[in-house]
Each structure stands twice: as C-alpha cells, then as structure tokens.
Copies of this chain bind each other. A is one copy, B any other.
Amino acid sequence: MVTIRDVARASGVHVSTVSRTFSAPHLVNEKTRQAVLAVAAQLGYRPNRAARALTTGRTHNLGLIVADIANPFFPPLIKAAQGHARERDYHVFVADTDEDPVLEQELIETLSKQVDGVLLCSPRLSNQTIHRLRAEVPLVIVNRRVKGLTTVLMDVGQGARAAIDHLVGLGHRRIALLTGPPGSWTSGEIRQAATDRAAEAGVPLTVVGPNEPTEQGGLAAADKIAGHSAVLCYNDLVALGLIEGLVERGLSVPGDVSVIGIDDSLPGRLNRPKLTTITMPTAAAGRMAVDLLLAAVGAGEHAPHTTVRLETSLVIRESTQRASEP
C-alpha cells in the first residue's frame, strides 16, 4: 500500500506538504503541488479516507438503512441517494433491516462510528429510540414523521385526495380503501386524506385493513371488497394482487372494478391494464435526504431540524374507468 510517506520521500518534501496538496491545495506552492501530484499519480497513491477520518472526524461515508431492499419501492430511492452522495464525494453503506427494529438499532449503532450520518427510511424503531440514537449520529428520516428530527415526507395525502376526486369524477359511489400495516405512517396519511375527501364529496368510503403490503395482501383482500366499484390500495403490490384476485373471480379491471395503486413502481407500469397510481417522488426524496443530512453534518450536534414535504400526484393510466351505470 502506497502511503503519504512514500509520496513524500519520492518527491523530496515532508509528509505534511503531501497531506496539504490533497486536503488544502491552496496552502501549497503551485510548483510543489504539481510535483507532488505527479509523483502521487505515478505511484498510484490514494488518500486513505479511514485514516483521514481519524483526525478530521469526517468519514465521508453515509449510512442508508431500509426495511427491505427487495421491495420495489426502495431501489429507486437507494439509487438516487447513492448517486447524489457520490457526486458529493460520499460513499454509502446500505443495510437492510428485514423489518426488525432490533437489527435496525444495532445497525445504526455499529455504523455510527464509520459514517457522518444515517438516512433512515421507513424506520420501525420507536420515536424515543430514534431520538436517543440521534445523539450519537446525525439522522434524517424518510417516510415517517418524527417530531424534532429532520424528516423527508412524501405527501401521499395529496395524491390520495386526487385519487378520490378522480374516482368520484368517474361516477364511482362505492369506493373501498385497502390500508397497509398498522404502524405505517403512510397508511395513516392515506386513510386520513381519503376519508376526509370522500366525506367532502358526500361519497361513502369503506376502509378495509390492515393488509399485508404485498401482492398476497391484495390477493387476500379480493373477497373483502365485494360490492365496491373502485378500490384505492396501500401500494402497487397490493393493487396488483387485488387485480389478480379479481380476475380469478371473473371480474375485469377496470371493466367491473377500478383499481388505484400507490408508488408508481415498475411492476405497476408493466401491468396490463397499466396501473393508475400515485407517483411517489422516491428519487427526489433520496437526494433531498442526502442534502439535508449533509447540511446537518456540517452544522453539528444541535442543528435546526426541518420537515420537507414532497408533492405526489395521481397518474391516470388504464386501471380506472367510468363507473358502469348501476
């Protein structure tokens, strides 16, 4: 391994000069700098970030913790966050908690020494624990509201209202909502927004749930929404599962039942009929979270916290249509 010392020796300057050429170039004579750079390049020298971190206290690493990497909701967020971080010269550790709060906490703690901050996506931890961890390492939360912490939210309520309006506008009067898991912040938001809007429109809304946030969840719900002409689902996977269940029962979508998903994930776009859904700005959320985290890192311990609420919107595709006359 070629170190700063090798470069110093080979270019006839002191190690500190080499160090400065890389971490404070303006402090070193242009000519010396060029010389050192040349030698470094020739030797294939790369600063050791871990060693640097030891003195500076900045690792230039970020942690990104998600509940389930394989859930199609997350990859676009991970991709965007990682790319954005990279452009800012940050590497990112990605870890999957398997929905296990204990593991989640363990990960944050072991990671904390090695990163400048952690992005927590849809955390399963209690607010109290999150606050405690915040004292050890800067945290930004995505997809859940935690008082007193910097948070990036996707305003799914907005999309949910648009979804209800869309359905009501199409003449639907028997609308069901399939909710998600009990602890889900998103699910609560959707429910709230959808019921409020339905009430405003004077249309009843049947809330059915909780449901597993998977295609199985949707499939299992097919029996529970009998008699409804339109269904808003917790996510695309649930919607897709529901459609499958409906088709199995000889019902057609959108002919007999209109179905709306949430997330705008790849499987939904690929479905036939193409799924009408609420787009979640996952990529933007990932980038925004990185920006906020980096800002918090710079600001130190008691930086002011922010809540950013990103817009969502309804994408009308093929799984919804005008209600058939009763």
Contact = CB atoms under 8 A, between A and B. Distances in A.
B110 A91 contact: yes
A79 interface: yes
B69 A82 contact: yes
Given A46-B109, A75-B69, A79-B69, A114 B91 contact: yes
Interface stretch (A5-13, A144-152, A263-271): A263-271
B69 A95 contact: no
Interface stretch (A20-28, A49-57, A203-211, A221-229): A49-57
A48 B92 CA distance: 18
Contacts of A215: 270
A59 interface: yes
Contact of A95 (B54, B91, B243): B91
A297 to B, nearest CB: 15
Given A50-B53, A93-B91, A267-B270, A72 B72 contact: yes
B271 A270 contact: yes
Interface residues of A, number: 50
A49 B325 CA distance: 67
A136 B54 CA distance: 22
A70 interface: yes
Interface in A245-288: 247, 266-267, 270-272
Copies of the chain in the assembly: 2
A79 B96 contact: yes
Given A267-B270, A270-B215, A94 B82 contact: yes
A75 B79 CA distance: 11
Contacts of A95: 82, 86, 91-92
A121 interface: no
Given A46-B112, A113-B48, A244 B267 contact: no
Contacts of A111: 91
Nearest to A48: B113
Given A72-B72, A266-B72, A82 B110 contact: no
10 contacts: A46-B113, A50-B114, A72-B75, A78-B94, A83-B96, A93-B94, A266-B267, A270-B270, A271-B271, A272-B272
Interface of A: 1, 44, 46-51, 53-54, 59, 61, 68-70, 72, 74-76, 78-79, 82-83, 86, 91-96, 98, 107, 109-114, 136, 215, 237, 240, 243-244, 247, 266-267, 270-272
Given A50-B59, A267-B270, 17 more contacts: A46-B109, A46-B110, A48-B113, A49-B110, A51-B54, A54-B54, A69-B75, A69-B79, A69-B82, A70-B75, A82-B96, A92-B93, A93-B94, A215-B270, A243-B272, A266-B267, A271-B272
